[in-house]
Amino acid sequence: MGFDAGSAHRPRRKSFLLLFFKKEALACLTPQEFAAITTLKSRLDDLLASRRASETWDAAYQEIVATLSRNGMLDAVLPVGAPFPSFALPSAEGRLVSLAAALSRGPVVLGFFRGAWCPFCRLMLAALTEALPLIEAAGGTLLALTPETGGLPLTMKRYHGAAFEVLADVDFGVGLMAGVVFRIPPLYRERLVASGLEFPQRHGNGAWCLPVPATFIIRPDGIIAERFVNVDFAVRPEPEEIIAALDRLR
């Protein structure tokens, strides 16, 4: 453990504190204070509960989880121990960024996100933005991949004031190699269309695909050390789990 132990323990203490808070007591806090002492999971769960109150949304959500569970798509996701394929992708700022360049600095945390429009991704990106100093202190370089094009990666990056690379996985190329891409089932697609999300324009590809949110911890030699992947887009790893995975590589 060659990094500053005090700062590394801070987020763990936040989660620990949570055990002593009741939800009612949290209501009087500002959003920033609330975010600082709640886990990502509790925020994702709250968001999911509010969305599921809509019957049509809930049906579409259940359809995605059931479809992806049934067709065994997780079997296709790159497993721990496999090399992550080398790639170079355009960044939000219009640079070409290669995995190899990131790995030359140490382990890489590579996350697949659904896009700037997705509130679950926004919660996770906000948590990662906050945890970035700790991720970097643990030696990690964070790369966030989104299938969106047309300036939207920069929109996503600016929205979060993110200091990590946001890369455009144009036409789902890297997602396909990682096995995380699926075709959106009909009900969920209807919900997206109804809310005005034109994926053919946003992606520059009319396949109506998305990645499952997956996070890979990649060793400097390119081998996948750990992965967090779930067919349920509301289930994401805590930043603390990512930092712990990086710590295990030291």
Q: What is the dihedral of CA 114, 115, 118, 119, to 10 degrees?
A: 110
Q: How far is the CB of 98 from other proteins (least distance, A)?
A: 5
Would you list the DSSP string of the chain? Answer: --S-HHHHHHHHHHHHHHTT--HHHHTTS-HHHHHHHS-HHHHHHHHHHHHHTSHHHHHHHHHHHHHHHHTTGGGGSPPTTSBPPP-EEEBTTS-EEEHHHHHTTS-EEEEE---TT-HHHHHHHHHHHHHHHHHHHTT-EEEEEES--TTHHHHHHHHHT--SEEEE-GGGHHHHHHT-EEEPPHHHHHHHHHTT--HIIIII-TT-EEEPPEEEEE-TTSBEEEEEE-SSTT----HHHHHHHHHTT-
Residues 28-67 touching other proteins, rule: CB under 8 A, are none
Report in angstroms how near the CB of residue 185 gets to other proteins at its nearest.
Answer: 7
CA distances from 220 to 6, 17, 167 (A): 26, 34, 19
- Rounded to an integer, what distance in angstroms lies between the CA atom of residue 92 and that of residue 187? 31
> Per CB under 8 A, which region of 32-40, 46-54, 92-100, 121-129 contacts other proteins?
92-100
| Interaction of residue 206 with other proteins, rule CB under 8 A | yes
228 part of the interface to other proteins, by CB under 8 A: no
Q: How far is the CB of 117 from other proteins (least distance, A)?
A: 16
The tokens for 116 are: 């700037």
Q: Which of 59, 73, 137, 235 binds other proteins (CB under 8 A)?
A: 73
Nearer to other proteins, 107 or 179 (CB): 179
Asked if residue 166 lies in contact with residue 152, where contact means CB atoms within 8 angstroms, the answer is no
Of 1-9, 86-94, 105-113, 135-143, which part binds other proteins (CB under 8 A)?
86-94
171 binds other proteins (CB under 8 A): yes
Q: Which of 98, 193, 194, 198 binds other proteins (CB under 8 A)?
A: 98
Query: Which member of 151, 159, 193, 223 binds other proteins (CB under 8 A)?
Result: 151
- C-beta of 34 vs 208, nearer to other proteins: 208
79 binds other proteins (CB under 8 A): no
- Binding flag, residue 220, other proteins (CB under 8 A): no
Q: Mark the segment that binds other proteins (CB under 8 A) among 5-13, 16-24, 148-156, 237-245.
A: 148-156
* Least spacing, CB of residue 171 vs other proteins, in Å: 3
State the residues that interact with other proteins by CB under 8 A.
71, 73, 76, 85-92, 94-96, 98-101, 149-151, 153-155, 168-174, 176-177, 179, 181-183, 185-186, 201, 204-207, 209
